[in-house]
Structure 1
Amino acid sequence: MASATDSKSQNCLSFTVSVKLNRDNYPLWKSLVISIVKGCRLDGHMLGTKECPKEFIVSADSSKKPNPAFGDWQAHDSQLLGWLMNSMTVEIAVQLLHCETSKQLWDEAQSLAGAHTRSRIIYLKYEFHNIKKGEMKMEEYLVKMKNLVERLKLAGSPISNSDLIIQTLNGLDSEYNPVVVKLSNQTNLTWVDLQA
């Protein structure tokens, strides 16, 4: 008989991720997936903290009998594996078809996204240092800056919060000079404060 936790785990994976993993959105996809999977209490499978139990239980007389915990673990992990594959674009999922566990899929999706981003690190740094607000709406400009920082972080070249703020202010047009001067003098300015 399934426990209450088991049935909750099975039912909550009916939620879908609103963003399918592609080559450019790993940080966003990851945050959405982790929230749902943690809510289903299946994150131990995906992150490797809940290891697969032994397939058989060996009794004192050395006889083996099937371990029911093994079957439950396999069923939950297979369900999570399928759900994760379904949260990816076909292009990404096809490259990860060989994965047999949710942990292997999770790790390799991260590596795949990181490898793609690392190959573009020079381009991303150039874009980060040369981007200007120009004709973009302020919200669009701020989202683009934050997205570049997230991509650089994933590639193994993180940008500090202060560098993000400085570069964002540097990319503003001259009409924003009074705001730039005022904000530049604040020592503990956060990204959220800057956006406000």
Structure 2
Amino acid sequence: MAMQLSVLGPMVSPHTASTPAMLPTVGICLDRNNFALWRALTLTNLSRASLRGYLDGTVAAPAHTVTEGSGNATRQVVKPAYATWWTQDQKVQGVLLSSMTEEIASQLLGWKTAPTAWTSIHAMFSAQSHARVRHIRR
């Protein structure tokens, strides 16, 4: 079966004709002025794709490895459930990073999982949001 490419915004996802990519796109690019709208669209789109749990951490990472064998012949093997979780988590993180400006995305490159990136995004913008609310009230 021939490999096809599906372009989803800035992300490119290889897939076969029988298994289309189901990654949501956010529709707007997060910048310093549109966090509330971006957040709402991101949550809606990831919920629709049954990926929101990877974003908010409710789909927790399973144990990374399992010990196989006994005695001196033991070895650590990556559990298939972890590999599946990690792949989904990275898809969600890719959706996040591809839907924001380079300036913002570059601040999140050190985070390994989608929930840590999501928490960091909220921390970056919550202070700004509170300051704007205070300014508007004055």
Residue 87 of structure 1 deviates from its aligned partner by 0.7
Runs of 4+ in 1 over 2 A off after TM superposition: 57-66, 117-122
Q: Report the number of matched residues.
A: 118
User: 1:77-122 CA deviation, whole Å, 9 max, x = no partner?
Assistant: 1121111101111222122222211001111111111122233343
TM-score for the superposition, normalised by structure 2: 0.73
Stretches of structure 2 that go unaligned for 5 or more consecutive residues are 1-19
> CA RMSD, aligned part only?
2.4
Q: Which residue of 1 aligns with 2:7?
A: none
In the aligned structure 2, how far is the partner of 1:65 from the partner of 1:82? 26
TM-score for the superposition, normalised by structure 1: 0.53
Q: Which residue of 1 aligns with 2:66?
A: 57
Which one-letter code corresponds to 2:40 in the other structure? S
Determine what percentage of the aligned residue pairs are the same residue: 28
Q: Which residue of 2 aligns with 1:43?
A: 52
Instruction: Determine helix, strand or coil for the equivalent of 2:21.
Output: helix
Residue 61 of structure 1 deviates from its aligned partner by 4.6
Q: Which residue of 2 aligns with 1:85?
A: 97
Larger fraction in helix = 1
Q: Which residue of 1 aligns with 2:16?
A: none
Match runs of 1:151-190 below 5 Å: none
Stretches of structure 1 that go unaligned for 5 or more consecutive residues are 1-9, 127-196
In the aligned structure 1, how far is the partner of 2:100 from the partner of 2:53? 20
Which one-letter code corresponds to 2:27 in the other structure? S
In the aligned structure 1, how far is the partner of 2:103 from the partner of 2:54? 24
Larger fraction in strand = 2
**Larger Rg over CA atoms:** 1
1:110 partnered with 2:122: yes
